[in-house]
Amino acid sequence: MTLAAALLLAPSHALADEKSCLAEAMYYEARDQGWRGMLAVGIVIQNRVRDDRYPNTVCGVVRQGRYRNGNPVRHKCQFSYYCDGKPERPAEKKPWSVALDLATMLLSNRVQMVGLEDVTHYHATWVNPRWAGHMQKRKRIGSHIFYAQIK
């Protein structure tokens, strides 16, 4: 079943949860990079949802990481904002509104950006994760570099 079909069959609260998870990730990971940067993060999340190596829900992908006693272990998550120890309370109204609009669009349509079709990883330009050397660099958007698996 496709993600779109699963979402159509899901209860409305499940769709609302997926939208919140997606908007939250785009906001916290890329709010300073405008709508293109937030959209790129959202596309990475959706690419992971469609990839068998990752959880099959948006919230599952966003919250993936190590847990101890039911709580995410600090700095051991796939998306750094989720386990940085800070509460998730969007304070900047305009980027939060953009993130919510983008999440709605991404959950209702199959959206792609040229160069990000199969991208499942990204990192900020100021870090150098060890996995980056084993992947194919695809694109830079704002202060993020995006990667796909080498085929």
Per-residue pLDDT of the chain (151 residues; tens, 9 = 90+): 444 444 455 544 455 689 999 999 999 999 999 999 999 999 999 999 999 999 999 999 988 877 678 776 676 667 777 676 666 777 778 999 999 999 999 999 888 899 999 999 999 999 999 899 999 999 999 999 999 998 7
- Sketch out the chain's domains with CATH numbers: 12-111 (1.10.10.2520)
Rounded to two decimals, the pTM is: 0.83
First to last CA, the chain: 25
CA gap 138, 130 in Å, rounded: 17
